[in-house]
A and B are shown apart, each in its own frame.
Chain A
Amino acid sequence: MSESLTRHHIKLREDSLEKETTTLNLGPTHPATHGVFQNILEIDGERVLEATPTIGYIHRAFEKIAERRPLYQITPLTDRLNYCSSPINNMGWHMTVEKLLGLKMPKRVDYLRVIIMELSRIADHLVCNSVIGVDTGALTGFVYVFQYRERIYEIFEEVCGSRLTTNIGRIGGLERNFTPAAWEKLDAFLRDFPAALREFETLLNRNRIFMERTIGAGPIDAERALNYSFTGPNLRAAGVDYDVRVQQPYSSYQDFDFDIPVGTTGDAYDRYQVRDMEMWESVKIIRQALEKLKDLDPSVYHADAPEFYLPPKTDVYTKMEALIWHFKIVMGETEIPPGEVYHSVEGANGELGFYLISDGGRSPYRLHFRRPCFIYYQAFPEMIKGGLLSDAIIAMSSLNLIAGELDA
């Protein structure tokens, strides 16, 4: 019988039979943990005294796989980091490689990338906010909001062919221009989404039950958050207005005018509000991008860099030059400068960084992903200490932990 008490993935402490607190295993498979992570909680009644998180249940060895693949084949790998907003990861990776190669993008490519990134930010925040609702018991918001996520998927499908793990864009631009159908869908989305978001807000923002559940759940103050290297909406909810799009603008974000919402106490309600207001800011940015695109040449969708940008297939099969460039890029005979580059983008969860060390070959020598989820999840035991068990669940879902990004 003692055999079955000590399975190899949970070990009870030696004094566990005499103590007065309960050890609860919030195991890897649990309806409320969105993703596979385990927490062994010490609880006294309903109060959480201590928590020991265990991760690694979906460790897929991205960094080792990346050492084997040529640079353009790493994009599908980056998709699967934060899979709720994969275009941001893809664009971040392409920008890292473009920084290494010294390529400069035309303005139109930048603006198209901004539109795609902001749409995926909206998609990710929709998931997070509706899931906080589901965890407090409000299932309706989830169902309403997923409709709009389907609309965003349709726009992505028009551009790149895939819904969720998009592999969108290429090193050097986008793989194809936006079709007229994509523009129509984007316009329809911008027309209908604000009303739907407002409806979702009326369900939860000033809902007394929701507010009482989330206010005070899992707070963290700005000092501790900075010490734990928090970034993104979780840091902004604690009061620090650090946003990579403003501090180190990439992809022409400096041309856009948007605000950064900031909270005060860093609890679940503040995180929910910050994400909600960021969605409004994203809609603003997309509208501004559409305005700016009107003055640019609509046929440009990639940089003029034949040594690095894979030519379209129609050209490869008909033109000799394109065939030769395609061969050179795929076989790794183009000049990739050796060097080290660190580039970061504002992912939906925070500063997503790519540290690429190239030795001049086709694949990276070392590629490291600075994953925001992994870094801020360390603070979780501190955030829930002293709180109730149900607050711990709300705190976990308001942190927007995506298992793919946690373990990579």
Chain B
Amino acid sequence: MVEIPEGYSGEGFHATSFDKVVGLARKNSLWPLPFATSCCGIEFMATMGANYDLARFGSERMGFTPRQCDMLLVAGTIAKKMGPILREVYLQMSEPRWVVAIGACASSGGIFDSYSVLQGIDQVIPVDVYVPGCPPRPEAILDGILKLQDLVQHESLRRRNSPRYKDLLSSYGIQ
């Protein structure tokens, strides 16, 4: 169960500020889009399984279309050939959207410092949480998602329209 945000309670009502309620609602119903390319994908499947259940944190429904999801979980190595496709998928998600880079390869290229591997997905899309590990244990993936939930809860409702965010996106070439 989640705790009630602070506010003024009365007979049959609870008054609190809007962003707290929205933050609470968003954080507990993040619908993930698994973008699993390699070994971290198998650890992600284990996280979704019964032992380290991800569904209990609200991510019950794994969407496979970017139009319906708000959290993009990139698990695995992204090669340069795959970079444009990752960007396409990211562009199709609607705001608010968050990105979690699972694993060393997604965060920074991992052990593959070669001509064909993208050295971290933050070369093509903005990332919110990085989960290191090769592959990270399911507990680490859950920790990363919980940190993301923290971010989501405390995010200001005006962030997506702020000039700082717009600058961030335009530095990636995204309008």
Listed in ascending order, the chain A residues whose CB lies under 8 Å from chain B are 7-9, 27-31, 35-36, 56-61, 64-65, 76-77, 79-80, 83-84, 127, 142-143, 146-147, 149-150, 153, 163-165, 403-404, 407
Chain B residues, CB < 8 A from A28: 82, 85
Chain A residues, CB < 8 A from B111: 76-77
**A9→B83 CA distance, assembly (Å):** 11
Known A-B contacts A56-B81, A57-B81, A60-B77; the reply to A146 vs B46 at CB < 8 A is: yes
Chain A residues, CB < 8 A from B45: 146
**A58→B39 CA distance, assembly (Å):** 11
Picked from B35, B38, B115, the residue with its CB within 8 Å of the CB of A80 is B38
- Is B169 part of the binding interface, using a Cβ–Cβ cutoff of 8 Å? no
Listed in ascending order, the chain B residues whose CB lies under 8 Å from chain A are 35, 37-39, 41-43, 45-46, 49-51, 64, 76-77, 79, 81-82, 84-85, 88-89, 111-117, 134-135, 137
Chain B binding surface SS class: loop
Known A-B contacts A8-B84, A146-B45; the reply to A163 vs B134 at CB < 8 A is: no
Pick 8 A–B contacts, CB within 8 A, sort by A.
A9-B84, A29-B85, A58-B37, A59-B81, A61-B117, A146-B45, A165-B134, A165-B135
**A84→B89 CA distance, assembly (Å):** 26
The 4 A-B residue pairs with the shortest CB-CB distance, nearest first, are A31-B64, A61-B114, A83-B39, A146-B49
Tell me the nearest residue of chain A to B34, going by C-beta: A31
**A222→B106 CA distance, assembly (Å):** 41
Tell me the nearest residue of chain A to B78, going by C-beta: A58
Q: Are B49 and A143 in contact (CB under 8 A)?
A: yes
Give the Cβ gap from B138 to chain A, nearest Cβ, in Å: 9
New A-B pairs, 9, CB < 8 Å, besides A57-B79, A83-B38: A36-B82, A58-B82, A61-B112, A61-B115, A79-B39, A84-B42, A142-B49, A146-B49, A403-B37
Picked from A27, A65, A150, the residue with its CB within 8 Å of the CB of B85 is A27
Question: Max chain B CB contacts within 10 Å: which of A8, A30, A150?
Answer: A150
Q: Are B39 and A164 in contact (CB under 8 A)?
A: yes
Q: Are A9 and B49 in contact (CB under 8 A)?
A: no
**A153→B45 CA distance, assembly (Å):** 14
Chain B residues, CB < 8 A from A163: 43, 135, 137
Chain A residues, CB < 8 A from B41: 35
